Amino acid sequence: MRGARARGGSLPPPATEDKWVSWLARAFRVGDPGGWVGVGDDAAVLPLAGGLLLTCDTKAEGTHFTRRALPGGIGHKALGSSLSDIAAMGGTPLAALLWVCASKGKGLRRLAGIARGAAALARSLGVRIVGGDTIASRGPLVVGAAVLGRVNRRPLLRSGARPGDRILVSGSLGGSSLGRHLTFTPRVRAGEALARRYRVRAAIDISDGLGRDLVRLCRASGCGARIEAVRIPVSPAARRLSRRTGRSAWRHALSDGEDFELLVAAAPREAARIARERPGGIRWTQIGECVAGASRIVLPGGRESPLRGEGYVHPL
């Protein structure tokens, strides 16, 4: 990338993903941007051929799936998480690379199942898997995918929300660990519709939990948020998980992660239109608004509490 410079500083990177990404954003800052968008959004923006998007994601056994996970689900998740990033940018995915690092002696049957799972998802969305890499190692199974996409009208970034904007989420949230994290539908069609027909000011996909990803969007936009717990759309899986754990279903919906739904901010009238017209053919729920100052959540009893970025923290 022209103008990329190593500026991260001499201190070692901190020990959480968010701090590491912040360090990388400084280290890989793009000089003379000219339309380039690098580290810090769901995908990079390349001002080439009308605007291209590029993203990648990697999943590891023991962290993102268990040894008992079906191979097809592993492949689906590996590709689907990168497709979700393209959806959050309002783009159309075009082509993908898939890579697998597998333990020696695991056999080709499991690898073939992973490839079939990724291929089935790619076909359903008109994406071509055009290559990748496979290596053997002594470590756990690691699977990843990179996706190239096309910008639709303009990329949706995390950084455009303003106080007074309404906050909406697609679908329902929570309980993905009961199996949905291996079968989710990336909201590509919804993201395309948002970019083409609506004036969305900011967007992000919900990968690490509603609370955590909302705080990320607000931080990028320089504002806060005020949301209501009773408005968060709770999935049936979150309700089932709540009965097992004793935690409130809405708390699972706030913090479980790996929902791969979309979270957007838009002006009040535009937000109402999105909720009414259901872009992508899915439900959209307004859960609060952007505010000046610190983020907070209104609990079911009416008391307000700080919103501290509840969700999954990736240790490094």
Domain end: 150, 177, 205, which one?
150
- 141 lies in the same domain as 176: no
- The answer to whether the predicted template modeling score (pTM) of the entire model surpasses 0.75 is yes
Instruction: Write out pLDDT tens, residues 222-273.
Output: 999 999 999 999 999 999 999 999 999 999 999 999 999 999 999 999 999 9
Overall domain count for the chain = 2
Instruction: For the sheet with 284-291, list strands across it.
Output: 200-206, 261-266, 166-170, 284-291, 224-228, 296-298, 304-306
Domain end: 150, 183, 198, which one?
150
| Residue 188 belongs to a domain | yes
> What is the extent of the structural domain holding 211?
166-306
Instruction: Write out pLDDT tens, residues 61-98.
Output: 998 999 899 999 999 999 999 999 999 999 999 999 99
| Residue 155 belongs to a domain | no
59: which strand partners?
143
112-128 in b/e form (b: 16+ CB < 10 A) is: ebbbebbbebbeebebe
Q: For residue 83, give the CATH number of its domain.
A: 3.30.1330.10
Q: For residue 220, give the CATH number of its domain.
A: 3.90.650.10
Q: How far is CA 311 from CA 123, 128, 182, in A?
A: 32, 33, 19
| Residue 291 belongs to a domain | yes
| Residue 193 belongs to a domain | yes
* Distance linking the first and last C-alpha atoms of the chain: 26
- 116 lies in the same domain as 215: no
- 40 lies in the same domain as 83: yes
- pLDDT level of residue 17 (50, 70, 90 thresholds): low
Residue 256 C-alpha from the chain's centroid: 13
Q: Are the CB atoms for 171 and 238 separated by under 8 Å? A: no
Instruction: Write out pLDDT tens, residues 136-165.
Output: 888 899 999 999 999 999 999 999 999 999
